[in-house]
Amino acid sequence: MHAAASAFSEAVMQTHAARLAIMAARLRKDMPLPAILLFGILIFCAWLAFSSGRSVFAVLSPAWPILAGIVATVAGLAVLELCAAFAITLLTAALQLAYDTGRHRVRALLVIASSVALAGLGWRLAEFEPAALHGAVLPILGSAGLVALTIWFERAYLRPAYPGFRDFWVDVVAARDFLTRSAHGA
- pLDDT for 124-165, tens place per residue? 777 767 666 666 777 888 889 889 989 988 888 888 887 778
CA distance to 55, 70, 91, 180, per residue, from 81 (Å) = 17, 17, 15, 18
Residue 70 is predicted with a pLDDT of: 93
Amino acid at 117: A
CA–chain centroid gap for 143, Å, is: 14
CA distance to 154, 155, 161, 162, per residue, from 165 (Å) = 10, 7, 7, 5
Residue 72 is predicted with a pLDDT of: 93
Contacts of 182 (CB under 8 A, 6+ apart): 19, 22, 23
CB atoms within 10 A of CB 72: 21
Q: Is 185 left (phi over 0), alpha (psi -120 to 50) or beta?
A: left
To the nearest 10 degrees (0 to 180), the angle between helices 65-101 and 16-27 is 50
Residue 85 is predicted with a pLDDT of: 93
Residue 57 is predicted with a pLDDT of: 94
With cut-offs at 50, 70 and 90, classify the pLDDT of residue 6.
confident
What global pTM score does this model have? 0.76
Higher pLDDT, 58 or 7: 58
Q: Express each pLDDT in 57-99 by its tens digit.
A: 999 988 888 899 999 999 999 999 999 999 999 888 888 888 8
